[in-house]
Amino acid sequence: MPVRRAIAAVSIMTVVCLVSFVYSYSKGAVKDYYSTGPGEMGPTVLEPGKMTVEVDYQPGYAPHDDALVQFKSRAENYSGRSVELLKTETAIPTMQNVTIENVVSYEKEFRRSPPVDGDRVSIYVIYVGGKFSENSDVLAATYLSLSIVVFKSEIVRYAPQGGMCDDIMIVNECKVERSALVHEFGHVLGLVGLVYASPADHEDPQHPSHCTNESCVMHHSIDVYKGGIPRPPPYAFDRDCLDDLNIIRASSYGKYYLKDQRFDAVVVIIAAAGVSGIAAVVLWDRRRRKASTIPQVLSGPATPP
């Protein structure tokens, strides 16, 4: 069984993204949800249906309500699904350094909504305090195909606490958190280049799975203090990323049987897909990615003003 480890993350100030791809492509096979990687369920999420966003948070690290509402609206817009938000304070213990293994184990313990249930998909978002063990400047990361971790203490360390997303204040907690959520949702959908090959030359070779456009929310960093002049963080996909969503929609990733051990059910996501030109592109892309499986850690200025 091939081992996959894929993390797609967003950070600010520092340029950090840890991406390692060894896809185990198992079309038609039964697959454990906890072995799926970022982007793999993108084609499924982009199909018609409903979506739950289950937010579980550690006491003291609650999500910003307006950021969540704004994220919901974006998620509905980009996926075409109606979104139901579930928000629960959860008994997640205090952690200094948070590993992916930690969040996966809490997801297994606390997730209530099955990843896929009929035409409903469920994105799991876990809010924690502490720093990401693999890089302390990371704000959020997508660690499974439908699972996101938000390092809430890092968001409020970086951005002035409180405020609303339409405030006149250029940078605040709400705006940064909204951007982090939309960015990670982009990885859930498959951006950039996670499950397809983009015809547009917009994937940053220095930061795989991110967009080269600084004005796009899929840029690898949210550098709102660049040059010492604050600017609002982007929270929308640019044209190239939007165009890519149409390619992802047609791709054959996610078209396998998903077995969720916790819910002890085999869920048919989509009937076995036939071989198509898109599938060939995806397979080619997968081979291309295998050549660059070394995680990258790049650092830059780390202290916000």
- Report, in Å, the least distance between residue 195 CB and Zn ion: 15
**Near Zn ion by CB under 5 A, which window of 3-11, 47-55, 62-70, 279-287?**
3-11
User: Which residue stretch of 111-119, 130-138, 234-242, 270-278 sits at the interface with Zn ion (rule: CB under 5 A)?
Assistant: 234-242
What's the min distance (Å) between Cβ of 11 and Zn ion? 8
Regarding 8 and contact with Zn ion (CB under 5 A), the answer is yes
Q: How many residues bind Zn ion (CB under 5 A)?
A: 8
How far apart are alpha carbons 211 and 201 in whole angstroms?
Answer: 9
Between 141 and 258, CB nearer to Zn ion: 141
Stretch of residues binding Zn ion (CB under 5 A), selected from 9-17, 43-51, 119-127, 250-258: 9-17
Rounded to 10°, the helix 173-189/65-79 angle is: 30
Q: Which is nearer to Zn ion, 46 or 216 (CB)?
A: 216
Which CB, 61 or 237, lies closer to Zn ion?
237
Among 45, 146, 216, 248, binds Zn ion (CB under 5 A): 216
Q: Is 238 in the site for Zn ion (CB under 5 A)?
A: yes
Q: How far is the CB of 112 from Zn ion (least distance, A)?
A: 26
Q: Which of 241, 245, 281, 282 is in the footprint of Zn ion by CB under 5 A?
A: 241
Q: Which of 46, 75, 218, 281 contacts Zn ion by CB under 5 A? A: 218
Contacts of 25 (CB under 8 A, 6+ apart): 283, 286
Nearer to Zn ion, 27 or 187 (CB): 187
Whether residue 282 has a cis bond before it, omega within 30° of 0: no
What is d(CA 240, CA 192) in angstroms, rounded to the nearest whole number?
10
Shortest distance (Å) from residue 64 CB to Zn ion: 20
The DSSP code sequence of 166-235 is T-SSSS-HHHHHHHHHHHHHHHHHTTTTTSS--SSS-B-TTSTTSBS-TTSTTBSB--TTGGG---PPP-
Task: Tell the smallest beta-carbon distance from residue 30 to Zn ion (Å).
Answer: 29
10 binds Zn ion (CB under 5 A): yes
Stretch that binds Zn ion, among 53-61, 79-87, 111-119, 218-226 (CB under 5 A): 218-226
R_g (Cα) of the chain, nearest Å: 18
- Using an 8 Å Cβ cutoff, are 55 and 85 in contact? yes
Q: Is 211 among the residues that bind Zn ion (CB under 5 A)?
A: yes
- What gap in Å lies between CA 118 and CA 138, rounded to an integer? 34
Q: Of 27 and 175, which CB lies nearer to Zn ion in the complex structure? A: 175
**44 and 270 in contact (C-beta within 8 Å)?**
yes
* Cβ neighbours, 10 Å, residue 163: 18
- Smallest CA-to-CA distance from 60 within 98, 106, 93 is with 93
Q: Interface residues with Zn ion (CB under 5 A)?
A: 8, 10, 211, 213, 216, 218, 238, 241
